[in-house]
């Protein structure tokens, strides 16, 4: 999918901007501005990032509150997009998630389905700001999906299935271990005593059953049947129900305890971000922009993710409390009912002694069976952990073999990036790329992706590493035919390296017949790099400045 043209129209249908895009090669959204006087200042008000956001709308992005502001609400964005060699005209109203395609109105979900847009994948090629992780991901610690998509984007697709299974097995082990720990703490058990305790318990149950059978044999069916059917069997049934209710109530109380701990931890996470800000404010120390941004991202993550989960947890606690109350009422009813049966047994002269013994033995048997059930659960948890550990061993072997199968491909990538780094720096700087399978572990994730750069100790080396990964995907990936960078993706990088990176991206986009769109400020360019200046001059699709802003006013 590629964008070929974009029009921005105001409420009077007046064309504010019309921007053509090169189908292949670079497209520069150029900011003819000087470098800000301080790190707290930006040059974003002229509209470069805003324009990139408009473009992102046609790649299936949801409405963004930073874009859909009152000043431009209901403005029109009209784009010509190319998809599978066919050109479509797409229209989107700012503030609305609907599209008009060749005069047909469709929802954003229908739009994404029609053009086979995967936002999870697209977001790894569209950067309105820089990321913190080496590979494209929303978080500093990439998720399973991030890892799998990256492997797929660099044509290591066979890794995906075993990686997925590996994560599932690890998560199952973690869940079973947590449940096991809770049961051990709740029952005051020790792991080493479980199997022995279960064996002794089974022997005791066997003895009790023999005693109960002996009582049955000492009384004729006529003598004891009516009393045993009415009292003893009824007592056993109701007592079993009572045990199950107590068990269910205990599980819900345990879940509520765990959810309460989580919400307390969630609150401390939010308080941590706030306290950090307060500490800096108290010290009259001005926070760097990146720190502020990180804190803000933490707060956004907390609000968007943790608070949502906190709401669900609160609702779950309330739901559990209703069931606990319901169970408690039934428990009291059963206890009263069992007391009544006790009275009946005590009032039966003929079989009083036998029935009392029979009742006590059955009650003890039920207690032991309940305890045995918990011990059986512990044994089952251990079996599940062992089974998942065996699964990990098999999947780890698969990953090791796949790594060998992909050795030539990874070496090609390694050589490619090594050569790029040599071209990127004038001094002797070297790079080493690797996709490594870690040692098998029940918790540590299996795949490690690394790009090491030796010889560059500058503050922008992390950014350079991330851009090289972008280039790797752009050059070798077959799933997407575009890459978008905001100028913030080059923050902190020396202008000489920026020039080289942009020249490389321009060459790659031409060679692979892909589209590269980048916002760029004049102060980020090496003014002596005539080769890049020539590329920028030829490939600039729109030039913005303080006197020529995207929308004609501050936004």
Q: Are residues 364 and 497 in the same domain?
A: no
Q: Which of 338, 372, 399 is the last residue of a domain?
A: 399
CB atoms within 10 A of CB 347: 8
* Whole-prediction pTM: 0.69
* Cα dist from 324 to 123, 259, 336, whole Å: 45, 15, 18
CB neighbours of 220 closer than 8 A, spacing ≥ 6?
Answer: none
Q: Are residues 347 and 432 in the same domain?
A: no
Task: Evaluate whether 71 touches 60 at the Cβ level (below 8 Å).
Answer: no
Alpha helices in 123-159 (DSSP H): 144-153
Place of tokens 């039934």: 330
Per-residue model confidence as pLDDT tens digits over 224-278 = 455 556 666 777 777 777 788 788 878 888 888 887 887 777 777 666 656 666 6
User: How many domains are contained in the chain?
Assistant: 2
Is 162 a member of any domain?
A: no
Is 553 a member of any domain?
A: no
Is 555 a member of any domain?
A: no
Q: Are residues 40 and 119 in the same domain?
A: yes
Q: Which of 360, 380, 399 is the last residue of a domain?
A: 399
Residue 552 sits at the vertex; the CA angle it makes with 547 and 553, to the nearest 5 degrees, is 95
Report residue 241 as tokens: 């129900």
Q: Are residues 44 and 146 in the same domain?
A: yes
Q: Are residues 29 and 108 in the same domain?
A: yes
Q: Are residues 188 and 225 in the same domain?
A: yes
Helix or strand (DSSP H, E) at 325: helix 307-347
Is 552 a member of any domain?
A: no
Taking the CA atoms of residue 497, residue 502, residue 504 and residue 505 in that order, the dihedral angle to the nearest 10 degrees is 140
Is 505 a member of any domain?
A: yes
Q: Are residues 146 and 184 in the same domain?
A: no
Q: Are residues 266 and 146 in the same domain?
A: no
Report how far residue 349's alpha carbon sits from residue 526's, in angstroms, rounded to the nearest whole number: 107
Running DSSP on this structure, what letter comes out for residue 61? Answer: P
Q: Which of 399, 426, 441 is the last residue of a domain?
A: 399
The low-confidence residues of the chain, meaning pLDDT below 70, are 35-44, 216-232, 269-306, 343-355
Is 417 a member of any domain?
A: yes
Enumerate the β-bridge partners of residue 15: 9
pLDDT at 222: 43
DSSP 199-239: HHHHHHHHHHHHHHHHHHHTS-HHHHHHHIIIIIHHHHHHH
Q: Are residues 480 and 516 in the same domain?
A: yes
Q: Are residues 207 and 180 in the same domain?
A: yes
Residue 84 sits in a domain of what CATH number? Answer: 3.40.50.300
Q: Are residues 131 and 280 in the same domain?
A: no
Per-residue model confidence as pLDDT tens digits over 455-480 = 877 778 999 999 999 999 999 999 99
Residue 298 sits in a domain of what CATH number? Answer: 1.10.287
Enumerate the β-bridge partners of residue 436: 448
Report how far residue 489's alpha carbon sits from residue 136's, in angstroms, rounded to the nearest whole number: 12
Q: Are residues 99 and 184 in the same domain?
A: no
Place of tokens 């590996």: 166
Per-residue model confidence as pLDDT tens digits over 204-222 = 888 888 877 777 666 544 4
pLDDT at 405: 95
Backbone angles phi, psi at 3, to 5 degrees: -95, 135
The boundaries of the domain holding residue 448 are 2-156+406-544
Running DSSP on this structure, what letter comes out for residue 96? Answer: -
Is 550 a member of any domain?
A: no
Helix or strand (DSSP H, E) at 59: none
DSSP helix/strand/coil, 302:
helix
Is 418 a member of any domain?
A: yes
pLDDT at 487: 93
* Cα dist from 371 to 245, 247, 368, whole Å: 14, 11, 5
């Amino acid at each position: 999918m590629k964008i070929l043209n974009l029009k921005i129209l105001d409420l009077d249908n007046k064309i504010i901007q019309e921007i053509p895009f090169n189908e292949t090669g670079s497209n520069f959204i150029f900011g003819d501005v000087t470098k800000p006087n301080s790190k707290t200042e930006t040059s974003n008000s002229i509209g470069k990032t805003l324009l990139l956001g408009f473009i992102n709308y046609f790649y299936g992005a949801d409405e963004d509150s930073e874009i859909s502001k009152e000043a431009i609400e209901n403005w029109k964005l009209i784009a010509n997009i190319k998809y599978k060699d066919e050109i479509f005209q797409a229209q989107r109203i700012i503030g609305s998630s609907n599209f008009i395609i060749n005069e047909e109105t469709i929802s954003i979900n229908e739009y994404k389905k029609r053009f086979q847009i995967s936002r999870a994948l697209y977001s790894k090629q569209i950067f309105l700001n820089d990321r913190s992780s080496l590979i494209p991901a929303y978080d500093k610690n990439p998720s399973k999906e991030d890892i799998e998509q990256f492997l797929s984007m660099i044509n290591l697709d066979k890794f995906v299935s075993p990686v997925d299974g590996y994560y599932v097995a690890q998560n199952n082990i973690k869940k079973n271990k947590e449940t096991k720990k809770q049961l051990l703490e709740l029952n005051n058990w020790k792991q080493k005593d479980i199997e022995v305790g279960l064996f002794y318990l089974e022997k005791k149950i066997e003895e009790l059953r023999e005693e109960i059978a002996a009582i049955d044999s000492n009384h004729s069916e006529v003598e004891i049947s009516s009393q045993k059917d009415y009292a003893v069997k009824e007592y056993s049934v109701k007592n079993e129900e009572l045990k199950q209710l107590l068990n269910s109530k205990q599980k819900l109380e345990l879940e509520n305890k765990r959810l309460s701990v989580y919400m307390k931890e969630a609150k401390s996470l939010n308080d941590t971000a706030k306290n950090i800000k307060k500490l800096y404010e108290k010290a009259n120390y001005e926070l760097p922009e990146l720190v502020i941004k990180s804190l803000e991202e933490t707060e956004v993550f907390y609000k968007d993710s943790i608070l949502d989960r906190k709401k669900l947890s609160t609702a779950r606690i309330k739901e559990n409390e209703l069931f606990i109350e319901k169970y408690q009422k039934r428990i009291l009813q059963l206890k009263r009912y069992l007391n009544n049966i006790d009275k009946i047994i005590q009032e039966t002269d003929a079989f009083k002694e036998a029935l009392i013994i029979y009742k006590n033995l059955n009650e003890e048997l039920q207690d032991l069976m309940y305890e045995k059930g918990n011990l059986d659960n512990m044994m089952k948890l251990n079996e599940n952990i062992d089974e998942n550990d065996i699964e990990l061993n098999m999947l780890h072997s698969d990953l090791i073999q796949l790594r060998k199968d992909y050795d030539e491909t990874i070496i090609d990538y390694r050589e490619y990036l090594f050569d790029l780094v040599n071209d990127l720096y004038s001094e002797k700087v070297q790079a080493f790329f690797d996709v490594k399978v870690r040692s098998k572990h029940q918790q540590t994730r299996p795949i490690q992706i690394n790009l090491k750069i030796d010889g560059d100790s500058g503050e922008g080396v992390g950014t350079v590493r991330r851009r090289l990964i972008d280039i790797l995907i752009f050059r070798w990936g077959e799933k997407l035919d575009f890459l978008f960078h905001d100028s913030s993706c080059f923050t902190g990088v020396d202008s000489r390296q920026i020039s080289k990176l942009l020249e490389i991206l321009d060459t790659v986009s031409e060679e692979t017949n892909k589209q590269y769109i980048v916002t760029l400020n004049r102060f980020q360019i090496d003014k002596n790099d005539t080769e890049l200046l020539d590329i920028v001059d030829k490939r600039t699709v729109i030039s913005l400045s303080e006197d020529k802003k995207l929308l004609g006013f501050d936004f």
